[in-house]
A and B are shown apart, each in its own frame.
Chain A
Amino acid sequence: MAKQMLIDAYRGKRTDKAPWVPYAGVHCAFLINEPADKMLQDAELLAKGVVNAAKRYKADGIPLLFDLSVEANSVGCDLKWWPDNVPSVTNHPCSDKTPEQAGLKLPTKDSGRWPLLFEAAKIAKPQLEEMDCAMMGLFCGPLTLASHLAGVRIFTDVYKNPEFAAEVIKFAGEVGARAAELYAEMGCDIVAIVDPVASQIKSETFQKFVTPNCQPAIKAIHDAGITSSFFICGDCTKVMEDVCKLGTHGFAIDEQLNLNFVRDLARKYGVGFGGNLKLTLALSLGLLSPREDAIVSLAAGGQHGYTFAPG
């Protein structure tokens, strides 16, 4: 395990080999024979699951949590829990109100599940350090959080009610900055903005709503002296240049993208990139050979700013 090698790759530097991060998520619960909902609501179990997964998969880094409901929950959204998945957000406080009208407040260390995460980090961090494994903090990006807060309307509001959309997404960006500060305070070595639905808008919309509202979080991460990244899902081909220009040290993409294209773009901008083992088609469903898929990813990624990881 090699934490510094991972940090170097995330920052777009050359490494002796490609470092490896399993974004294990609720799979951590499966590995310790616990239901996901139980693990995610128990600091000791969460730490146990994460440390166990890092050890089992010889990870160079691992997220403390991969659950994009934390931020929404910490500002007032309700959750539905699942035994084999992350919880779902069930209500949208900004469906007909701005965050201010809905009385939403920025989260503190005591909001929602943040106290539990601090407790889990306190247990997991020394054990991960001992294994030379980076602890990563992942939080919900501005557009995805805005869709939790306002519902699907946020996607048409970027045209029909741009002022409303701007207000909700700006608030989401501020919540993200708070989350970034909290993960930095926990001792995370890498903090990433995770905005899966940001792939579903065009470049102009990305530049108008996503880029500016990631800046407070990026500043918080960099002010803490740690490494930043931006994770995006789906086919994000048309916004890849915007992702590269966001200001993070690197980014991670999902299985729908061509890693050769992504590698060339990342190197052009001097940022790190991660991916893109086929999480569903190979690792979850077995429709493709995970071994061959891994060989293809490693060959495409190389040893220059590349992190081997599920996409």
Chain B
Amino acid sequence: MSTKEELLEQMKNGVVEYQEDVVKEAAQAYLDAGHLALDGVMDGLAAGMQVVGELYDANEYFVPEVLMCADALYAGLDILRPHIPKKEDDVNAQVVIGSIQGDVHDIGKNLVKMMFDVAGWDVHDLGRDVPLEKFVEEQLRTDSEVVAMSAMMTTTMLGMKKVIEMIKEKNPNVGIMLGGAPVTKDVANLFGADGYAESAGNAVSEGIKMISRLREMREK
């Protein structure tokens, strides 16, 4: 029987090597052994996705590999997530999240999504290559407090500005977070966003900061 560390390693490596079946088996064995699901998500799946982010930044992995890794990540998350207990201090909030139209890369978005997930938010994931008006429609439909968008290319990044304008026009109280390779803090400010995640590589920590900032926003 594998130890907790071995199972976490299997999940991590399964994500990195985009082996969905390995991740599923390890996640189930991890649960069956009575380990905490949240640790499995953070130290197994998310740890694997961080390596994927580093491989992407180093031009070792590209969009197809990252998407395959994300499939493996979600295969594991589907098993572990239902076993993460809701905490009393979880933020009772909703977020609409997606990669902007034209962008098919969503590693950073998936990491941020996962952080929102485990922090107890209701996440409305629109996926990747999301038409601009879909962000607005989904925010209105769900009355979400936050809309989080990511972009990979400078050309597609410009679509974010349009989405922010459309959302703020309908509902100025929505918090908007931007992230992705070409997005900088200056760009986020220029576009009128309320928050910014620096890159896919630090999306997990940025996701936590974003949640904290949003908690503060809500308290105010």
Contacts and interface: CB of A to CB of B under 8 A. Distances in A.
B216 to A, nearest CB: 28
Interface stretch (A103-111, A154-162, A258-266): A154-162
A132 interface: no
Given A155-B64, A158-B64, A234 B152 contact: yes
A13 B186 CA distance: 40
B131 A202 contact: no
B31 interface: no
A237 interface: yes
Contacts of B162: 84-85
B67 A155 contact: yes
B153 A196 contact: yes
A235 B59 contact: yes
B67 A156 contact: yes
B187 interface: yes
B128 A152 contact: yes
Most buried by B among A197, A234, A281: A234
Contacts of B101: 88
B157 interface: yes
B64 A287 contact: no
A156 B133 CA distance: 26
B104 interface: yes
Nearest to B18: A159
Interface in A243-290: 254-256, 278-281, 284-285, 287
B22 interface: no
Contact of A90 (B105, B131, B153): B131
B62 A280 contact: no
B154 A237 contact: no
Interface residues of B, number: 32
B182 to A, nearest CB: 7
B117 interface: no
Nearest to A206: B62
A115 to B, nearest CB: 27
A200 B187 contact: no
Interface string A155-199: 110111000000000000000000000000000000000001100
A279 B154 contact: yes
B208 interface: no
Interface in B68-117: 68, 71, 101, 104-105
B91 to A, nearest CB: 30
Contacts of A201: 62-64
Contacts of B61: 202
Interface in B160-177: 162
Question: How many A residues touch the partner, as a band?
Answer: 20 to 34
Contacts of B181: 235
Contacts of B65: 202
A234 B67 contact: no
Nearest to B159: A85
B1 interface: no
B154 A281 contact: yes
Contact of B62 (A84, A88, A200): A200
Contacts of B64: 155-156, 158-159, 200-202, 205
Contact of B187 (A88, A234, A285): A285
Contact of B154 (A85, A159, A256): A256
B3 interface: no
Contacts of A85: 159, 162
Contacts of B127: 152
Nearest to A234: B153
Contacts of A147: 104, 129
A224 to B, nearest CB: 29
Contact of A152 (B104, B131, B190): B104
A155 B104 contact: yes
22 contacts: A80-B131, A90-B131, A147-B104, A152-B67, A152-B127, A152-B129, A156-B67, A156-B68, A160-B68, A196-B155, A202-B62, A205-B62, A234-B152, A235-B181, A237-B59, A254-B153, A255-B154, A279-B155, A280-B154, A280-B158, A280-B182, A281-B154
A-B interface, 8 closest residue pairs, ranked by CB to CB distance from nearest: A200-B63, A280-B154, A155-B64, A202-B62, A238-B59, A152-B104, A156-B67, A201-B62
Given A202-B65, A278-B154, A287-B190, 11 more contacts: A80-B133, A147-B104, A151-B129, A155-B64, A155-B67, A155-B104, A196-B155, A200-B105, A202-B64, A254-B153, A254-B154
